[in-house]
Structure 1
């Protein structure tokens, strides 16, 4: 018998362009997910929304479903109110399923606070993204381990973060990139040297845009070299003019990864839309 798990939290958000300003044309939430009122951080017309989990954390067997659509010409900055915490999951893993759709000339900056996995936590995150050839996508994410009062690192069980990106054209939908990050700290003693190169924190930057090229990758690599992080950058293939860029950065500091990803985001915002740095201070 097939068991259907009901999401503990559901969120739907559709952003449309109205007279040069991006607005929500549909909002829906249910259960342990909320969204705060919109903010406009500059004069660009970009709207900023903040997702909230009133429960404070993901627990065992929790399922969260998030559906975001940015329609043609609209511009969304989406973040979270605080870090996403994964506590121990003795019965089953916690899971987040996210679906993102971007229309022509749509732009999405997805900038959540860090994901913190505590002792005995298992978590799966599946993100399915569809873009158009003229869409712009910038995603940044940081994964950190939880800490005990005496400063020792908690050993979470497993994190699986899978992101699929498709480019939709008149001819159909083609896979642009599949980013699959699997971290199992308990196996570190087995794998020995080379497991995350001895670092405890990992940051990821994923960019999809027609303006992505090797020159941009080289520039971001140079920018990253000024930070205390072990960084690698790769490019995807090109579909209908759209190319993806993936940066992975390893460090022992959440703040260092925040600075690195923030500097990369600032470079892209300034160059592509004339916007300044994002200030998402939440205290």
Structure 2
């Protein structure tokens, strides 16, 4: 299948530092040179040179981390999905994490505009002892009427395999047409959705208790729920009225993780 944009990254640890051992991209995808915000590992900024996703676009990203490698991957800006009158936009991401590796995969929010349709599928194969940190934020884009939820639908699937055994399967489907998005079991009056997930041997009962205390202090600006996973992990879900509220909550969650790693808070400032 020919994609609108393709991207492949591979990272290895060498002499105590993670380096990018392989990188290629084509079409509408590009990446920055590795930025070492911390001396131990690089941060990669993914760039979409077309300005936004349009009718029938398809994108493919592959990320592979060898043993004990560590990498932070983010995007340069929000993913903007415009009208898709004929075919939805599709985005596929595959991730392979070897034992002891750590991937922070923290893309900017998805903005779904009027009459857009979007499919996102993320598949992770990780060995026990690896760490996967992930966030996903979905926001409604501008419309002529000024009303929210003018996109047709957004579908997001996340599958995580640990030692080839399926441990996490998360399927989110938002379809405003024909549904009252403010109703119970929909958005319940909120406009923005976010999910933050961590699968890691670092997740313990004590750590979850600390995270719960942090989330309680954030509950005044959003509706927050969290669940422990059957593997060593946790997922946090947030409903809010604007993107910044979700980003602040996820930043607090990520900072707690990094304190356990004895590292400074993550600063991905892009402007």
TM-score normalised over the length of structure 1: 0.91
Aligned to 2:239: 250
Q: Secondary structure at the match of 1:126?
A: strand
Contact 1:208 1:245 in 2 (8 A): yes
**Equivalent in 224, 228, 236 of residue 235 of structure 1:** 228
Shift of 1:270: 1.2
Say yes or no: does 1:91 pair with 2:91.
no
**Cα deviation 1:166-189 (Å, max 9, x = unaligned):** 011xxxx11111011111122333
Contact 1:217 1:233 in 2 (8 A): no
Aligned to 2:47: 52
Q: Secondary structure at the match of 2:178?
A: helix
CA–CA distance in structure 2, aligned partners of residues 69 and 134 of structure 1: 15
Mapping 1:1-283, distance limit 5 Å: 5-43=1-39, 45-148=40-143, 151-168=146-163, 173-189=164-180, 192-227=183-218, 228-238=221-231, 243-271=232-260, 273-283=261-271
Shift of 1:198: 1.3
CA–CA distance in structure 2, aligned partners of residues 161 and 216 of structure 1: 28
Q: Secondary structure at the match of 1:267?
A: helix
Q: Secondary structure at the match of 2:122?
A: strand
Contact 1:15 1:25 in 2 (8 A): yes
CA–CA distance in structure 2, aligned partners of residues 25 and 199 of structure 1: 43
Contact 1:97 1:127 in 2 (8 A): yes
TM-score normalised over the length of structure 2: 0.95
Q: Secondary structure at the match of 2:24?
A: strand
List runs of 5+ in structure 2 lacking aligned partners.
none
Q: Secondary structure at the match of 2:188?
A: helix
Shift of 1:190: 8.1
Q: Secondary structure at the match of 1:196?
A: coil
Q: Secondary structure at the match of 2:254?
A: helix
List runs of 5+ in structure 1 lacking aligned partners.
none
CA–CA distance in structure 1, aligned partners of residues 82 and 182 of structure 2: 25
Shift of 1:278: 1.1
CA–CA distance in structure 1, aligned partners of residues 116 and 83 of structure 2: 4
Contact 1:214 1:235 in 2 (8 A): no
Q: Secondary structure at the match of 1:211?
A: coil
Contact 1:147 1:154 in 2 (8 A): no
Shift of 1:226: 1.9
CA–CA distance in structure 1, aligned partners of residues 43 and 225 of structure 2: 29
**Structure 1 residue runs of 4 or more that deviate by more than 6 Å after TM superposition:** none
CA–CA distance in structure 2, aligned partners of residues 190 and 177 of structure 1: 26
Over the aligned positions, Cα root-mean-square deviation in angstroms equals: 1.6
Shift of 1:196: 1.4
Judge which range, 213-222 or 77-86, deviates more: 213-222
Shift of 1:61: 1.0
CA–CA distance in structure 1, aligned partners of residues 196 and 182 of structure 2: 26
